[in-house]
Amino acid sequence: MNKKMILASLLFAAAPCAASASVSFSDFDGPGFLVVNPRVKTKLKQEAFQDVIAAADVIYAGDERAGRKDHLAQLELIRTLTAVRKGRVTVALAALNAASQPALDDYLAARTTEAVFLKEAGWDAQTGVDFRLYRPLLEFIRENKLRAAAIGIPRPVISKIARGGLAALDKREKALFPADMPAETDKAYLAYVRTAYKALAPGISWPNYLTAMSAWNSGLGANALRLLKTAPGGALLILAGNSHIKYNAGLAAYVRSRAKGLAHCSIATEDAAKLEDFMKDPAPLADYVRFISR
């Protein structure tokens, strides 16, 4: 399944080893990881990338949800932030519904086993992703006593909007979203989302589909903003699908526009096979693009 099909399917889903806290760019040394600044067509050196991460207050780290190396790259970001921020790091997980926070807290505090966590959080139904992709990240968070927060919105609710608009939601479902849910306006992002929409089966209108994406991004953004208010002075790392942060739109735009006094940095992932063509005419997919061999 390609990434455009994945973006479409997210709306309609049925619902390693222990790491140290030291800064390490070992994963970036190999051919699987390469970071590009699209604004100046420059490949970043490891030290320069570390400086970028160290200077940011809010980092939007995109991924292809089933990409193992995408999540390993996110682990490197967590390691780096933990070192440079001396543990003052909050990791926001868009893959996990906010209602699962108690289960996540118990798991990270070692009060429950992995099996109990997966059952209580409804991991498989919520994410549709193999937990093994996230296990190294959560193990590192637990071992280093970092704060982690579930900021996700239930996919059945997003699907409901896509099929019937916001009017289809009941009072409880509407409470999952902020009062202000701006429509997506970035032309490049709209074209990206529209391509995903075209891959859907007939019966879903474009206005409702776009409303669903806008609501999803706004809900994630509002949950992320609450974390900033409760943990000032630390770094917030938001792990979310590329579809929520590309072109600095979506979730990234929602938070940036409401936390203007902070330093923001977005990092999208892309297939390394596309690097050569990308460097000829870099698209502004994010502040930085991380190329990964998949």
- For 239-265, give the DSSP string: EEEHHHHGGG-HHHHHHHTT-TTS-EE
Q: Where are the domains of the chain?
A: 3-13+35-189+198-205+234-292
- What span, in angstroms and rounded, lies between the C-alpha atoms of 227 and 13? 27
Cβ–Cβ < 8 Å for 63, 269: yes
pLDDT-derived band at 267 (thresholds 50, 70, 90) equals: very high
Tell me, what DSSP letter sits at residue 59? E
pLDDT number for residue 23: 32
Cβ–Cβ < 8 Å for 273, 32: no
Which is higher by pLDDT, 97 or 65?
97
CB-facing half-sphere around the CA of 23: CA atoms within 13 A: 13
Beta-carbon contacts of 281 under 8 Å, excluding residues fewer than 6 positions away, are none
pLDDT tens-digit map of 23-82: 333 344 433 568 999 999 999 988 899 899 999 999 999 999 778 899 999 999 999 999
pLDDT over 90 percentage in the chain: 77
In the numeric block, the tokens 């893959």 are attached to 95
CATH number corresponding to 3-13+35-189+198-205+234-292 = 3.40.50.11550
Instruction: For the chain, report the end-to-end CA distance as a whole number of angstroms.
Output: 13
Which is higher by pLDDT, 69 or 109?
109
